[in-house]
Structure 1
C-alpha cells in the first residue's frame, strides 16, 4: 500500500517465522516431550503468543511469538508461582515441571486449563483481582515498569515493516517515554499486571482468575486501570464497563492529569503487538495500517477494531 508517507508494510514474503504449520510442529514436539497428546488441539489466540487448548487433557500450552520477547516466558513462570504463594486467584502452571521448555527457537509453557463457568468475566471481576495484585509487594527480581521497551522489541523483531514507519514508531516511543518521565503518579508503586482487561480474566467454577502475566512488573497501578479506559475510547466499548471498573476499584484514571500520556503508551502497545507475527498472520494487516495511519496523523477519535 503506497502513500506519500511511504509503505505501511513492506512487500510480503510468503513464509513467516510463526506460521500455523511451524507452531503446530512446536506444539507437537513440546507435548511429545511430556507425554501429552497434541492431536486436535485448538488454537485459542495468536498475537504475542500462540495459545492452544489440548483436546485430550485439561492443559493449555503457550508458545512465545517473538524472539525478542522470549525472556517474558521466564517472568510469566515466576509471577505465576508468586501469585500461587500469595493466594491470588490466577491460572496455575502444570506442576512438577521445569518451565519454560525450549523447543527449537520457541519457549513453551504448560498450564492447568480452567473449566469455564457459565458467565463472562466483568470489569468488576477484574477490579477485585487487581486490588489483590496491587496489595502485594513486587517480587524480588521483577522488572521495573518500562511500557515501551516491548514496543521497541516488537519493532526490532517485525517480520514486515517499512523503514518510514519503523522510524516513526521509534520516535514516538521516545516522545512518550519523555512524557512518562515527567508524570507524578498518585497511587503507590506495586506489582502490576501490565495488560489488565477482562479478556485476561477467566471465570472458573471457583470464581474469576487472572491469566497472561507477560507484562507484569513493578510499577504504577494507574497503568492497570488504563486498558479499559482506552478500550472505551478506541474500540467503542460500553461506557458502563469502565464505570464498573472505577466503582469496584475506587479510582478513575481518566480524571488523573497523566491519563493522556498513558493512553498514548497503551495505543503504541496495541498497534505493535502483531509486528513479530505479521507475515505469519496476514489477516491483521488492514487493521495495522489503519492504526499506524491514525497515530501518524494524530487522530485520537477514530475507532479501531480488535486484532483477530
Structure 2
C-alpha cells in the first residue's frame, strides 16, 4: 500500500520551507520579522514581512532531490517575467531588492518576488481570464530566450510515473494503468519531438507559452489582475495553455484571439494537448504520497478521462 506523509510531516515540511526562506532572505539583506504563509500546496509561498518580498519555495516535486533541474526552470521563469514586466505586461515580477536568481538553502531552491496586495474579495472569472490569454501570447511572441519544446509536458515524468504506479493499486486500477501505457506510446513521440509534432500538425506555429493553465494563474491584485506562475514556461502551440479547460473557455480564448488578429484554436491540436494533459494527471498520482489531499482533486479527472476518446483520437 502507498505510504502517505502524515499531517505532522506536512507541517514540518512547511515549517522547514518557511525557515529556509527566512534565513535566505536575511542572508540577502532583507529585514524579516513577521513571515506569513500565503499559499501552501505544491509550493510554500511566504511573505517575508515587513520586506515587500515574497519567497516561493517548491516542496512537492517529481524529483525532489534534482535541484539542478528545478534551478534551470526557475531561471527561465525569472527571465521571462522580468522581460514581460519591462514591456509593461501586468505580471507578478521578480523582486528588485535581491539578485534575480534562484537561491538554495537547506535542501530547497527558491525564488523571490515583489509583493503585491491581493484582492481577496474578487471571485475568479475564468472566461474573462481565458479571453485575456491571447494578449499574453501576443506579448510572448517576441521573447528572445531559448526554451525547450513542450518541456512543461514533462515527458520524462510521465515515462517514469506510469511504471511506478504499478506498485500502487490503491491509486489507480490495472485496467486504467494499462490504457495509460498504451496512450503514452501513441502520444510520447509527438511530445518529445518538435519535428514529429510539426509533421503531424503542419502549419501550427510554435511560440513561448505560459505552460501551466494561465487562466487559473491570474493573480487578482488590488491594483488589477496580473499573470503569474510562469514556472512551466515552454515553447509550444498556444493550445497547450487551454488544455482540458473545455468548450466555454476555448470559445472565450477565440474571442480574444480574433481581437488580437491571431488564429483561433485548432481542434486537432486541442485533442492532442487534452490527451497529454490527462496523462500528466495520471502521472501526478505519484505525487499523492507527498501531498495526500491531491487525491481528492485528481479522482474526478481520472473518472472523466475514462470517458474520453483513446489518445484523443490520434491513434486513428
> TM-score normalized by structure 2?
0.71
Match of 2:209 among 189, 192, 199: 192
**Shift, 1:293, TM fit:** 6.2
Q: Structure 1 or 2: larger helix share?
A: 2
Which SS does the other structure have where 2:57 is aligned? strand
Aligned length: 277
Partners of 1:161 and 1:222 in 2: how far apart?
28
- TM-superposition CA deviations, 1:163-186 (whole Å, max 9, x none): 376975566434222355353154
Q: Tell me which of 257, 265, 273 is aligned to 1:249.
A: 257
Which residue in 2 is equivalent to 1:61? Answer: 55
Which residue in the other structure is 1:102 paired with? 104
Contact 1:10 1:161 in 2 (8 A): no
User: RCO higher in 1 or 2 (8 Å CA, sep ≥ 6)?
Assistant: 1
Residues 85 and 153 from structure 1, CA distance in 2 versus in 1: closer, same or farther, beyond 3 angstroms? same
Q: In the TM superposition, what whole-angstrom CA distance separates every residue of 1:124-164 from its partner, at most 9, and x where no partner exists? A: 3443353343342242322222443x253377489x85437
Distance verdict in 2 for CA 1:79–1:275, change over 3 Å: farther
Q: 1:178 to 1:140 in 2, by over 3 A?
A: same
What is the TM-score normalised by the length of structure 1?
Answer: 0.73
1:124 aligns with 2:128: yes
CA distance in structure 2 between the partners assigned to 1:81 and 1:146 by the alignment: 20
1:281 aligned to 2:282? no
Residue 51 of structure 1 is matched in structure 2 by 45
Q: For the residues of structure 1 that align with 2:159 and 2:294, how far apart are their CA atoms? A: 16
Corresponding position of 2:146: 141
Q: Retained in 1: the 8 A contact 2:24–2:105?
A: yes
Q: Is the 8 A contact 2:44 2:56 kept in 1?
A: yes
SS in 1 for 2:235: strand
Counterpart in 2 of 1:78?
Answer: 79
Distance 1:231 1:133, change over 3 A: closer
Q: What are the superposed Cα offsets for residues 195-227 of structure 1, whole Å, 9 maximum, x if unpaired?
A: 233321123354322111111122212222x23
SS in 1 for 2:200: coil
Q: Secondary structure at the match of 2:229?
A: coil
Instruction: For residue 137 of structure 1, give the secondary structure of its aligned residue in structure 2.
Output: coil
Q: Residues 19-62 of structure 1: CA distance to partner in whole angstroms, max 9, x if unpaired?
A: 32332332332233233426451241412x33233453433221
- Residue 145 of structure 1 contacts residue 218 of structure 1 at CA under 8 Å; is this kept in 2? yes
Q: Distance in 2 between matches of 1:56 and 1:154?
A: 41
Q: Aligned partners of 1:32, 1:155: CA distance in 2, in Å?
A: 40
**Unaligned segments of structure 2, at least 5 residues:** 192-196, 310-316
- Structure 1 residue runs without a partner (length 5+): 1-8, 234-238, 302-308
Alignment counterpart, residue 23 of structure 1, candidates 7, 12, 17: 17
Match of 1:30, SS? Answer: helix
Q: RMSD of the alignment, in Å?
A: 3.5
